[in-house]
Amino acid sequence: MSQAPRQGEQPPEGRGPADERRGAAALLETYHRLAPVTVPLYALLLALLVGAGVMLIAGANPFEAYGALFAGAFGNPERLVRTLVRSTPYVVAGIAVALAYRAGLFNIGVEGQLLIGGLTGVWVGTMSALAGTPAVLYVPLVLLAGALGGALWAGIPGVLKARTGAHEVIVTIMLNAIALRMVDWVVTSREPKILLDPDASTPRTPDIVPAGQLPDLVPGTAIPVGLLLAVAIAAGAWYLVSRSTLGFQIRTVGTNPSAARYAGMSVPRIIIVSMLISGAVAGIGGIIAVNAGDSAHLTPGLLRNVGFDGIAIALIARGNPLAVIPAALLWGSLLSGAPLMQVQADLSIDLVRVVQASVILFVAGDMIVRTLFRIRPERGAGGSPTPAATGWGAQT
Amino acid sequence: MAQDTAPPRAEEHEPEVAVDTARGGLTGLSRLEIIGGLYLLVGVALAWLGVGLPADAIALQFGVGEIAPSLDLNPAVSVPVLAGLIAASGLVGILDRRLPRLAVPALVAGTVLVVPLVLIATLSQSGVPQTNVITLLGESLRLATPIALGALAGLFCERAGIINIGIEGMMLAGAGIGFVFYGLVGQAAGGWPLYAAVVVAVATGAMMAALHALMTITFRVDQIVSGVAINLLAIGITSFLRRQVIIPEGLGGGVTLPTIDLPGLSSLPVLGQLFTGRPIFLSMFVIFVLVQVTLFRSAWGLRVRSVGENAHASETLGIDVVKTRYQAVIIGGMLAGLGGAWFSLETVGTFDDVMTNGKGFIALAALIFGKWRPWPAFGGAVLFGFSEAFGARLQLLGAEVAGYPIPAQFLQSLPFVVTIIVLAGAIGRAVPPANVGKPYERSR
């Protein structure tokens, strides 16, 4: 494929057949080179086609339904804001998964870390001893509490993995189950009353005091500052992974723990640190999710599936923190557009779940996309497993 | 380590045999010694607390009726005794260097003793200090059904070298589509459509598994990614069907598979209760025996396991790796589909969104808990089933501590805590089949 024309080789006059062939080859080369961008787009297209197939079976008009879905997500400024707010927790959850993924760890526990982070944040944010703290101090304090809660919950599997080899997937699944029940107890228990708001009709915590809530990004709009925070976290995570020494160590441990050990890196330390960072990010995500919308309280079901969707988003983004942002936006816009689709096309909102699953399958199965659209396979592909799958068996 | 100079990937899956006896860290103690010390401390503390329990006897009944034996226990005595045994097991763990073969069995036994201890201690705090142990056991086994079947589903896939975190989705799809079939064909009236629906559920599980196999074996998609996608797909399809078909058609009459009494066995005096159950529950035991035989006593089972350990070596022996993996994954999917039918067709008689409620993930935990072996995985499943059954029982009994009811969430969390402790401690490293997660390409 080294047919790309070089400057000096241009024939002096006219466009001969050889030149045309070269031009076509150059175009083809560009087509292949663009694969990192085009493959996900084709995957989305294929996923939408699968969704359209389901719509046709259900007797709906796909164009009408997708039109409604799009209008529901981006139709007017209000909906656009709602879509952004909806996507923000997914950005953070996706980054949390992606960070651990780069260290070869499969953090299924983001679901639980979000919950515990949200819980510790709300706990600090409603503490009567802290009433009267100015917002400049209080907001960072709430975020810090959330980060610590999430880091604690992720630190357990990290330490156990590093010190005893206990499988992080199983430990995090267990900790998710525990977190779910602990939060359920703390939020719903009436005797003793712990964090239940006794005046609310449904079980929930009281709202975080106004000084502790994340402020609006632009006063007057409903965009919370969480969006900016999420983008900052994405940028920070990108810098950490791609540009810092620690990130280099994380990536080395993720791709080849033996080589990392041989190079003098402490694999257990990197595992623990990666899980702590991942959990801290998830904890902040919990606070952002609690602050989304008009209220700032935690309910037992508030963060349901956000962590699991974060796994899917991180996988679509292939562990790249910056690519998490568009993936999460796609996720959030599908979810926030769905209600309008339900009303206008009489299709259940759950259809978008089918589309989401298809996106993952086609993005992950890029062999299918590349075969269909005649894009040459990635160099070095075939044989070497991607980090997620090695994370299962690799015992360090 | 000498392997460090070898090609890096080669070392990744070498079994780390020396772990349990390795001494290291700051303390210079082996892991078993540390755990033994912990058990000793916990046992002594529990014994001390147990002495303070009320001395009113609690009754543990075995079975129902006149001839059912009943065991009256004084919590203030029996709890300290059990705690003492746990402390003793810890002591054996500490003496690992002197009694090298006894430490692990003793610690496992000590862990198991926690179950009756918690049972007696919580009963002594409740208003009605009696319970039927056989009923509790039967209920634990019943609730363990989907977890055990899911663990077997995972066992087939992973022994063949394919990670399956899509068990949850395969179960859910089986539960949902099986029920839709039953509702549409049988009009929720029971009878043969109910059994046909179970077959549909099994076939649905097989189809989801076939998709997983297609993605991971043929297209070499990352196996965990494919599993995540299977889960999402199942949530999407079943919730979609529920809103588009089940609710509009008004399906769901609560009719479930009938209870079957095994002739002869079910009329046994004390244990009879255990031989009465619904079809999927009863078939679980048969399936476990069948799985054990096919995987560990048949040529095909040997092929499956060798493909999971080293695909390329198997290939040189003339085994069709792709075909074997497809077969194993699809059989696993059928078992998961059966586990799904347990929810909708055997237990509830209707379908709710995400009604499998994370049981597929718990099944995965039971599988790893059992180190990829059928019977230990079954033990793990029963542990989870027990905690669920016991948590429900306790809410009925209304046990109180310090004037407040014991939160059911605590008891429900107990098996998860135990699993973490066991994983990190007594059981040691769970070593998966060596080729799990690795895509296979035919050599040319």
In tens, the pLDDT along B388-424 reads 888 777 777 766 666 677 777 887 787 788 778 767 7
Q: Are residues B243 and B293 in the same domain?
A: yes
- Number of structural domains chain B divides into: 2
Range of the domain at B83: 17-128
Which residues in chain B land under pLDDT 50?
Answer: 1-26
> Phi, psi at residue B380, to the nearest 5°?
-60, -45
For A216, which DSSP code? B
**B45 to chain A, closest Cα gap in Å:** 24
- Interface confidence, given as ipTM, is 0.80
Q: Are residues B341 and B196 in the same domain?
A: yes
User: Is residue B393 in some structural domain?
Assistant: no
Residue of A nearest to B442 (CA): A383
Decide: A350 and B235 in contact? Cβ < 8 Å. Answer: yes
Q: What's the sign of the alpha-carbon dihedral B323, B197, B166, A349?
A: positive
CA distances, B121 to each of B75, B76, B305, B390 (Å) = 7, 9, 44, 13
Residue of A nearest to B10 (CA): A258
Reported as type and span, the H/E element at residue A320 is none
Interface contact B228-A315, CB threshold 8 A: yes
Closest in A160, A191, A352 to B424, CB measured? A160
Decide: B186 and B197 in contact? Cβ < 8 Å. Answer: yes
> Phi, psi at residue B73, to the nearest 5°?
-120, 145
Chain A residues touching B413 at Cβ < 8 A: 177-178, 181-182
Q: Are residues B72 and B157 in the same domain?
A: no
Question: What is the Cα–Cα distance from A42 to A57, expressed in whole angstroms?
Answer: 23
Q: B333, B354, B385: which is the final residue of a domain?
A: B385
Question: What is the Cα–Cα distance from B71 to A306, expressed in whole angstroms?
Answer: 48
Question: What is the Cα–Cα distance from A107 to B60, expressed in whole angstroms?
Answer: 42
Neighbours of B59 (CB within 10 A): 14
Q: Are residues B114 and B192 in the same domain?
A: no
Q: Are residues B164 and B109 in the same domain?
A: no
DSSP A70-90: HHHHHSSHHHHHHHHHHHHHH
Closest in B25, B222, B242 to A386, CB measured? B222
Q: What's the sign of the alpha-carbon dihedral A51, A57, A60, A62?
A: positive
pLDDT value at residue A359: 87
Helices (H), B125-166: 133-159
Q: Are residues B290 and B202 in the same domain?
A: yes
User: Is residue B181 in some structural domain?
Assistant: yes
Tokens 């993924």 correspond to A101
Chain A residues touching B409 at Cβ < 8 A: 181-182, 184-185
pLDDT digit of tens for each residue in chain A (396 aa)? 444 444 444 445 555 667 777 888 888 888 877 777 788 888 889 999 999 998 998 888 999 999 999 999 998 888 998 899 889 999 999 999 999 989 988 898 999 999 999 999 999 999 888 888 888 899 999 999 999 999 999 999 999 888 877 778 878 988 998 999 999 999 988 777 788 888 888 888 888 888 888 887 777 666 778 888 999 999 999 999 999 999 999 999 988 888 999 999 999 999 999 999 999 999 999 999 998 877 788 988 888 889 989 988 998 888 899 999 999 999 999 999 999 998 998 888 888 888 988 888 888 777 778 888 887 776 544 433 344 555 444 443
> What's the distance, Cα to Cα, between the start and end of chain B in Å?
34
pLDDT value at residue A386: 46
Query: How buried is A48 (Cβ within 10 angstroms: 0-12 exposed, 13-18 middle, 19+ buried)?
Result: middle
Provide the number of CB pairs (under 8 Å) joining chain A to chain B: 199
For B73, which DSSP code? E
Q: What is the dihedral of CA B339, B345, B348, B354, to 10 degrees?
A: 50
pLDDT value at residue B7: 36
Helices (H), A197-266: 226-243, 245-255, 257-262
Tokens 């610590």 correspond to A148
Interface contact B229-A353, CB threshold 8 A: no
User: Is residue B7 in some structural domain?
Assistant: no
Angle at CA of residue A111, ends A109 and A117, nearest 5°:
100
**A321 to chain B, closest Cα gap in Å:** 17
Whole-prediction pTM value?
A: 0.83
Interface contact B228-A175, CB threshold 8 A: no
Pairing of strands B260-261, B276-277: antiparallel
Helices (H), B54-186: 75-94, 103-124, 133-159, 167-186
Chain A residues touching B404 at Cβ < 8 A: 191-192
Each residue's pLDDT tens digit, B57-100: 777 777 666 666 777 778 778 888 888 888 888 888 888 777 77
**Which residues are CB-contacts of A394 (< 8 A; sequence separation ≥ 6)?**
A104, A257, B12, B13
Q: B103, B128, B153: which is the final residue of a domain?
A: B128
Q: Are residues B145 and B205 in the same domain?
A: yes
**Which residues are CB-contacts of B110 (< 8 A; sequence separation ≥ 6)?**
B39, B43, B85, B86, B88, B89, B90, B93
Decide: B71 and B129 in contact? Cβ < 8 Å. Answer: no
Question: What is the Cα–Cα distance from B175 to A156, expressed in whole angstroms?
Answer: 34
> Phi, psi at residue B72, to the nearest 5°?
-95, 125
> Phi, psi at residue A97, to the nearest 5°?
-65, -45
Interface contact B365-A170, CB threshold 8 A: yes
User: Is residue B414 in some structural domain?
Assistant: no
pLDDT value at residue A391: 44
Tokens 């969006």 correspond to A227
Question: What is the Cα–Cα distance from B12 to A274, expressed in whole angstroms?
Answer: 20
Residue A250 CA from chain centroid, whole number: 19
Question: What is the Cα–Cα distance from B216 to A80, expressed in whole angstroms?
Answer: 37
Decide: A267 and A104 in contact? Cβ < 8 Å. Answer: no
Which CATH number fits the domain that encloses residue B144?
A: 1.10.3470
Q: Are residues B45 and B86 in the same domain?
A: yes
Cis before A192? omega within 30: yes
Q: Are residues B369 and B350 in the same domain?
A: yes
pLDDT value at residue B270: 65
Interface contact B409-A185, CB threshold 8 A: yes
C-alpha closest to that of B197 among B288, B285, B280 = B280
Q: Are residues B58 and B184 in the same domain?
A: no
Q: Are residues B177 and B260 in the same domain?
A: yes
**A17 to chain B, closest Cα gap in Å:** 39
Interface contact B9-A256, CB threshold 8 A: yes
pLDDT value at residue A118: 95
Decide: B397 and B126 in contact? Cβ < 8 Å. Answer: yes
Question: What is the Cα–Cα distance from A258 to A396, expressed in whole angstroms?
Answer: 8
Q: Are residues B113 and B168 in the same domain?
A: no
pLDDT value at residue B63: 67
Interface contact A361-B236, CB threshold 8 A: no
C-alpha closest to that of B231 among A107, A356, A339 = A356
For A357, which DSSP code? H
Angle at CA of residue B426, ends A392 and A165, nearest 5°:
30
